[in-house]
Each structure stands twice: as C-alpha cells, then as structure tokens.
Copies of this chain bind each other. A is one copy, B any other.
Amino acid sequence: MQKLSQSLLQQGKRIGFVPTMGFLHEGHLSLVDVAKKHSDVAVMSIFVNPTQFGPNEDYERYPRDAARDQKLAQQRGVDYLWMPEVEQMYPAGEQTKVVVTELTRGLCGPFRPGHFMGVATVVAKLFHVVQAQVAVFGEKDFQQLQVIRRMVKDLLMPIEIIGVPTLRDPDGLAMSSRNVYLNEEERKEVLGISQAIQAVQALLKNGETQVEKLLAVAKSILEKSPHLKIEYLEIVDKENLEQIEKIDRPARILIAAYIHQKRFIDNGALE
C-alpha cells in the first residue's frame, strides 16, 4: 500500500482516504462519496484495530464480512481497498504510542481507558502508509473525530480531515456496524438516544440555551427506555469538548448508553 501510494503521488494523483473497521453500511459509503469529491483516487482501509478495544469489549465478536465489504466498496467507487493484518500494523516489539491528552479526558475517555491512544496510534500509522491528502471520518464518533483533528494539527501531518454528518435510519437510529447486535425490542429502546438529541436540538431552536434544562429533558426521554443505562450525557464546547453551562458558542450533545451490555453512542450539533 505504501509503495502504491508513493507511485500515485509521483503521478500527481490526489489521494482521498476513508479508514474504517469494515462491516460497511451507508454511513461508511457516504464517506466514500465525500472522499471521491476531494481526490483523484479513493482508498479505503478496513482494519478492526485490537488496541482500541478494552479487555471486556467486543473486539472478538465485532461484526466482520470481508466479501460483502469488498463488493460494497467496489460498487461505491473505492479505487483501492486495503485490509492490513494485525502483524503489519503492529510490528514485533512495537512500543510507540500517540497520545492526545486533554480531549480524551472526558466523555468516552474514562469509560474506555486506552481507547483513544489506540485510535490515535493506529490512525497515525494508517496515514503514514496511505499518505493521503484528505481523510474522511464520520461525526458519529465525534470525540474520535476531534482527537484525530487535534493529532493532525499538533503533529503537523500533511493531511486535511473532513467530518461528515451522521447518517440515520428512517427511525432516527444512527447508522453503526454495531446495530446488528440489537433485537427489535432493544432497538426501540436505543432510539431514545437519537430522540433525546433531536428534542434538545428542537428546544435550542426555540431559544432554550440553559444546558441544565436541556440535559434534564434529554434525561427524561432516555429514562423512558427501561433497559437503557446512561453512561454519560453531556453538552460540551464543540472544539475542546469541555462542559459548558450555556449554549453561547458552537456546542455538541453527546450520549453513551448501554442496553444488555451493548454500548451505543450518538451525538448532535447544537449551534
């Protein structure tokens, strides 16, 4: 892949990159559309990165379907699909980590120790191999997107990061490879997450800017789902992800919740 990229760059091609963990859905494929708009050659990677999963998380059972992914990627116009092995991404004796500090202290950070270090490290590696001029990420993992933006800015990486708004199923559920974990009843309860976000967005549009009040409404909606356990529910400054009391700057509502040990996250713009 590195040699291919070098040859593409020498031909003056602009590379657009979509890093994924596979089990592709329309959300991923919409990132391909954006990558193609900003480049000559679209590269997608599929790599279920072990280091961003905690010991009790779903690395082993994370859904995988390489044959289906290949077909979907090709149909959507991906020029090169790269599926590295764990041993290629983590050479024997590897001991180098990329750490983004402040941005990873809150939200998912404390609940998934090491997760963002795993993400930043693997994304740096993917970037070094693919050498793209532009990379496209979904806003669904909003904290991840901001961590990657920060890493790129701080490490002076020669790549532009584009965030793409979350795609949702008709019922409002944010598209996610992990949605296959849900049965019908669970799905109904998980819909409380997107409903809470939409309700807060609507209240803000009507002029309510007090975070305390907005969070109370979100909480009351989430609590209508009896098996849904809130991990966090926060409204933060969009840039530094720090909690705010009043929506007087671009902000974001972020929610993480569990149902029967299955974890879901979602977020929405408040601006």
Contact = CB atoms under 8 A, between A and B. Distances in A.
A156 B101 contact: no
Interface string A143-166: 000000011011111100000000
Interface residues of A, number: 35
B100 A154 contact: no
Interface stretch (A55-63, A89-97, A252-260, A262-270): A89-97
A193 interface: no
B98 A96 contact: yes
Oligomer copy total: 2
A205 to B, nearest CB: 30
Interface in A98-156: 98-103, 120-121, 124-125, 128-129, 131, 150-151, 153-156
Nearest to A99: B97
Contacts of A93: 150, 240
Contacts of A129: 156, 158
Given A9-B9, A10-B12, A125 B95 contact: no
Contacts of A98: 96-99, 155
A2 interface: yes
B96 A154 contact: yes
A155 B96 contact: yes
Nearest to A89: B156
A179 interface: no
Contacts of A131: 158
A20 interface: no
A156 B85 CA distance: 13
A6 interface: yes
Contacts of A124: 155
Which of A6, A93, A155 has the most chain B CB atoms closer than 10 A to its own CB? A155
10 contacts: A2-B158, A93-B150, A95-B101, A95-B150, A96-B99, A96-B154, A99-B99, A125-B155, A128-B155, A129-B158
Interface of A: 2, 6, 9-10, 12, 89-91, 93-103, 120-121, 124-125, 128-129, 131, 150-151, 153-158, 240
The 10 closest A-B pairs by CB, nearest first: A96-B154, A95-B101, A94-B154, A125-B156, A128-B156, A97-B99, A95-B102, A128-B157, A96-B151, A96-B100
